[in-house]
Structure 1
């Protein structure tokens, strides 16, 4: 049976990124190994290695926050669609949300694999910052720093923002002011993960030369598929370097669908990496699914993903209906502080945030040694949806509707 967000006649799932998708990364990793090793040899001290490993764990925590940061905006768009309308768009956004939740769990598995501690919701200390971004916000980790992400209703503007979030590597340049400051920045989520693969590979290579491994985490802290209640694919547990690369390949594949091939120069019409659609592909990457919603049509099997192709990377297949007015037009980026404390809207917004915080606490518990706890969060997810929709149907004095603010509140 064909679901609304798939091209007709899709039957088999094809890997969005093949097993050998990281040749450039492996080459870069060798360079990184040589660079890091020279530092260690010069210092003749394990201190540098330990510092690099600690930095890797911080970067993995940023990856966790990066994956999460997309979920509240996607949920706002999803919940704002009026019931019974925009069925295809609803299915597309819902499928993306489920995959982003899956990515969060798999990044937590990565953190646990290198004996780190995933922090979801609350942080250990106030100095650790906030897990939930203060919207409007740039993406965590200096990913595409010029992009600002808001909580807003379903619209062409929000969908354009979503595809920019999922934009494949090569589409944007790092702002010159960040380059001059020497800050780590990444033109895309894929580039961020490419750096992660490089660092993980380099550190594991160094450790293996000493007969050790960086994958020293307790296997019992991994969240396996049998404990995951959502759809969006199968969880990958992480015990070694190959598993780590598979996790990152799955995350990038579901999000961007490619590691830079869309923007490679010059355009080669015969390169199969550009042909990412058709009957052998069960579902497309988030970037392409959001493009389908924006242009109100599916990708055709013969479409090319490259922007210099005859279809300019845009969908040319069968059209479907999108009613951009069939939405609850919530105030962008609402806050509890918008309302007097104790007022009905304050209490309803606080109640939503309490439910969302409880859901994050539940996921945090599951990813920190009690994976079976994930199933306890199913009812929280339903409650979250109903409370968000209730808020989006309450008019404000300015003519807009209220909406969920996604703020963390301690229980």
Structure 2
């Protein structure tokens, strides 16, 4: 099976999951890894928008979301290394590849979700938890196909093609000093490297069958992404309420106040220029475009890094662009909407050439 044309809003991941394991060929694996890269990339803008709307960046909730954003960046880098090590090239730019909001996750994953860009609120925290939700949450009893299930299929297929791993065009970047032992972007030289990386990605996002805790934390008792976002949504810590052979957990712990945040409104389909009541002034439009420019620079630098013999200057360029995105977003989320709602603008994350 081949998915030659990238289309963010296709059902490509659903179609990949429908292929029997014994029928998954080398092209299937390359396609699956490209789609996994697109999934990781799709989570960062909504999470970062919520983070940058929080007024106190040193508060508990801000720190928690920042750690999750860094986890997602690490996951993105690990999967890019997987793809380049088997001879593929990550694609991050161009129509059909860059995430678009509001809309579904790429590839048909969790099609009932509409992912949007906004400031932090209980609604957005709930959305984020839904993006990260595992097949069998410890605190719930629902069953459905998840991002984790897609990674499990990749882990099931990859050993058959372990001989393709070359260790070429790898990016190495240390994040463990500040963000936990599992967060280093490391080369994918062996199938053990690959399977360990996939396990880290799944466990940081979903937890494990035995615990909601992140086994690769940046600080003690850090929860996996799904449970951390659920804590923010419920406004209470998740705690163990029974200590039997099958412990139960519930959101009955200490309160977690929703932090004071700029009420950045949801970005409308097609951007703010498509909202008659809130078309930006020339100055605001220029600031929105400045943000889009930094975002586009970041994507291009990352794409080029995994094609370069010396990737670190390009990684540095991408990091610089993200810093500029943060600064520009800090301006955008303070500009009131003209409609008098009391809400503010939110960055659009448009890719510009």
Q: In 2, are the aligned partners of 1:132 and 1:406 still within 8 Å (CA)?
A: no
**Candidates 199, 209, 212, aligned match of 1:249:** 199
Task: Report the alpha carbon displacement of residue 161 of structure 1 after superposing the two structures with TM.
Answer: 0.6
**Candidates 254, 263, 267, aligned match of 1:333:** 267
Q: In 1, are the aligned partners of 2:29 and 2:157 still within 8 Å (CA)?
A: yes
Task: Report the alpha carbon displacement of residue 158 of structure 1 after superposing the two structures with TM.
Answer: 0.5
- Aligned counterparts of 1:116 and 1:230: Cα–Cα separation in 2: 30
Residues 297 and 364 of structure 1: CA distance in aligned 2, closer, same or farther (over 3 Å): same
Residues 215 and 275 of structure 1: CA distance in aligned 2, closer, same or farther (over 3 Å): closer
- Which residue pairs with 1:66 in the alignment? 39
Q: Could you say what secondary structure the match of 1:225 adopts?
A: coil
Structure 2 unaligned segments of length 5 or more: list them. 1-18
Aligned runs of 1:25-36 on 2, under 5 Å?
35-36=22-23
Q: Work out the number of aligned pairs and report it.
A: 317
- Per mean C-alpha deviation after superposition, the further-off stretch among 88-97 and 282-291 is 282-291
- Aligned counterparts of 1:197 and 1:305: Cα–Cα separation in 2: 32
Structure 1 unaligned segments of length 5 or more: list them. 1-30, 37-48, 124-128, 175-186, 205-212, 262-272
Higher relative contact order (CA 8 A, sep 6+): 1
Q: In 1, are the aligned partners of 2:207 and 2:214 still within 8 Å (CA)?
A: no
- Which residue pairs with 2:311 in the alignment? 371
- Aligned counterparts of 1:274 and 1:88: Cα–Cα separation in 2: 22
- Which residue pairs with 1:353 in the alignment? 292
- Aligned counterparts of 2:198 and 2:272: Cα–Cα separation in 1: 36
| Higher Rg of the two aligned structures | 1
Task: Report the alpha carbon displacement of residue 367 of structure 1 after superposing the two structures with TM.
Answer: 2.1
Task: Report the alpha carbon displacement of residue 131 of structure 1 after superposing the two structures with TM.
Answer: 2.6
Query: When the two structures are superposed, what TM-score results if normalisation uses the length of structure 2?
Result: 0.80
- Which residue pairs with 2:78 in the alignment? 106
**Candidates 237, 241, 254, aligned match of 1:318:** 254
Q: Could you say what secondary structure the match of 1:116 adopts?
A: coil
Q: Could you say what secondary structure the match of 2:97 adopts?
A: coil
Q: In 2, are the aligned partners of 1:303 and 1:315 still within 8 Å (CA)?
A: no
Task: Report the alpha carbon displacement of residue 328 of structure 1 after superposing the two structures with TM.
Answer: 1.6
- Aligned counterparts of 2:211 and 2:223: Cα–Cα separation in 1: 13
- Which residue pairs with 1:179 in the alignment? none
Q: Could you say what secondary structure the match of 1:375 adopts?
A: helix
1:239 aligns with 2:189: yes
Residues 376 and 166 of structure 1: CA distance in aligned 2, closer, same or farther (over 3 Å): same
Query: When the two structures are superposed, what TM-score results if normalisation uses the length of structure 1?
Result: 0.69
**Candidates 214, 224, 240, aligned match of 2:172:** 224
Task: Report the alpha carbon displacement of residue 228 of structure 1 after superposing the two structures with TM.
Answer: 9.7
Residues 292 and 201 of structure 1: CA distance in aligned 2, closer, same or farther (over 3 Å): same
Q: Which string of whole-angstrom CA distances, capped at 9 and with x for unpartnered residues, describes residues 89-110 of structure 1?
A: 1111111001101111111001
- Which residue pairs with 2:102 in the alignment? 136
Residues 59 and 229 of structure 1: CA distance in aligned 2, closer, same or farther (over 3 Å): farther
- Which residue pairs with 1:27 in the alignment? none
Residues 357 and 277 of structure 1: CA distance in aligned 2, closer, same or farther (over 3 Å): closer
Residues 108 and 310 of structure 1: CA distance in aligned 2, closer, same or farther (over 3 Å): closer
- Aligned counterparts of 1:403 and 1:275: Cα–Cα separation in 2: 32
Aligned runs of 1:26-105 on 2, under 5 Å?
35-36=22-23, 52-83=25-56, 87-105=59-77
Q: In 2, are the aligned partners of 1:229 and 1:375 still within 8 Å (CA)?
A: no
Deviation >6 Å, runs of 4+:
227-230, 277-280, 339-342
